Homo-oligomer: A and B are copies of this chain.
Amino acid sequence: MTKEQIKSISIIGLGLIGTSLARAWQAAFEAEGRKLFISGYDNNFANKDKKEILNYGLNRFESDFQYLCAVDLVVLAAPVQENIKTLRKIKRFLKPKTLVVDASSTKQAIMDVAKELDVRFVGMHPIAGSELRGYQNSNPDLFRGKPVAICADEKLLKQAKVKDFQALMELIGAEPFVVDAASHDKIFAKISHLPQLLSTAIVNYCAEDLDKAGTGLQDMARLSGSAWLVWQDIFATNQTEIADVLAAFSQKLQSLSNDIRAGNYEAIEQEFQSGNENYQKLQKRTQQ
């Protein structure tokens, strides 16, 4: 850590990701005997829940954005379009040195707005989602061993507070990698938004016969439990990439269908061999 350490954080959006971050950071600081103050904001909290959330890593539940001027780091942890709205709302309370990061699943749209508003902003995407939601499902180990995308220009990435933020993510076991926003959205249309759509589509396509399903379909179906509330924002902010990826994958399936119909088993065998190899790679990575 540098001299300009991050000691006070505000998290806006207290769902699975926001509260898991709070719990993970508090636990890591406590283990090192360091002090950290985290305040949390969430418009959707009823009064009775405001007390309970204080057991989830927060030092204070807050509703007045003017206190944001006092913190080192602001984390936007709601769905992306809500994060964009919040960013516009809080801009006037931020000091020029305040670092703002988000935890949304798409990066180009929010980074465009941050640039327009001239906010000191780092786009982040922790690859640690779940079909489960809400602070009750939060977990301080959610980020351990998980990749986390970091989007920012090179100049910013050299600044002390940004380095401190990356160190904060490493402190809780996450594995940051730097990527530009456009590439991020292209890649995640493939490795995240496509699996979600496949899961939803296949469970609906097989609706009549779910009582006969084995573990294969069951694993495939897990993501179909995901909330539209989160995904509507992802589709709205990564529309073209997702449409392109779905169309290309649809073509791939049509081509496999043609091969099977024609009895062209060499092509299918090749697809299986590659599948086996890629599965091994994926397993090696997750078992590290």
Q: A168 vs B283: C-alpha distance in the bound complex, in angstroms?
A: 37
B127, B212, B215, B272: the one contacting A214 at CB < 8 Å is B127
B217, B244, B247: the one contacting A195 at CB < 8 Å is B217
Q: Find out whether the CB atom of A129 lies under 8 angstroms from the CB atom of B282.
A: no
Q: Which residues of B contact A198 (CB under 8 A)?
A: 198, 202, 220, 253
Interface string of A124-158 (1 = CB under 8 A from B): 00011111000000000000001101000000000
Q: State whether the Cβ of A31 lies closer than 8 Å to any Cβ in chain B.
A: no
Q: Find out whether the CB atom of A213 lies under 8 angstroms from the CB atom of B200.
A: no
Q: Find out whether the CB atom of B235 lies under 8 angstroms from the CB atom of A278.
A: no
Q: State whether the Cβ of A206 lies closer than 8 Å to any Cβ in chain B.
A: yes
Q: Which residues of B contact A212 (CB under 8 A)?
A: 127, 147, 149, 177, 187-188, 191
Q: Which residues of B contact A225 (CB under 8 A)?
A: 275-276, 279-280, 283
Report which residue of A225, A250, A279 has the largest number of chain B beta carbons within 10 angstroms of its beta carbon: A279
Q: Find out whether the CB atom of B240 lies under 8 angstroms from the CB atom of A247.
A: no
Q: Find out whether the CB atom of A220 lies under 8 angstroms from the CB atom of B219.
A: yes
B195, B239, B260, B283: the one contacting A216 at CB < 8 Å is B195
Known: A201-B252, A282-B203. A273 touches B147 (CB 8 A): no
Stretch of A7-15, A36-44, A46-54, A261-269 at the chain-chain interface: A261-269
Q: State whether the Cβ of A19 lies closer than 8 Å to any Cβ in chain B.
A: no
B191, B210, B272: the one contacting A231 at CB < 8 Å is B272
* A235-257, CB < 8 A from B: 235-236, 239-240, 242-244, 246-254, 256-257
Q: Find out whether the CB atom of A268 lies under 8 angstroms from the CB atom of B210.
A: no
Q: State whether the Cβ of A224 lies closer than 8 Å to any Cβ in chain B.
A: yes
Q: Find out whether the CB atom of A275 lies under 8 angstroms from the CB atom of B224.
A: yes
Q: Which residues of B contact A213 (CB under 8 A)?
A: 127, 191, 282, 285
Interchain nearest-CB distance for A219 vs B (Å): 5
A-B pairs with beta carbons under 8 Å apart, 14 shown? A149-B212, A177-B212, A191-B214, A195-B202, A199-B220, A199-B275, A201-B271, A205-B252, A213-B282, A219-B223, A224-B279, A239-B263, A242-B260, A247-B257
Q: Which 4 A-B pairs have the closest CB atoms?
A: A246-B257, A200-B275, A243-B261, A224-B275
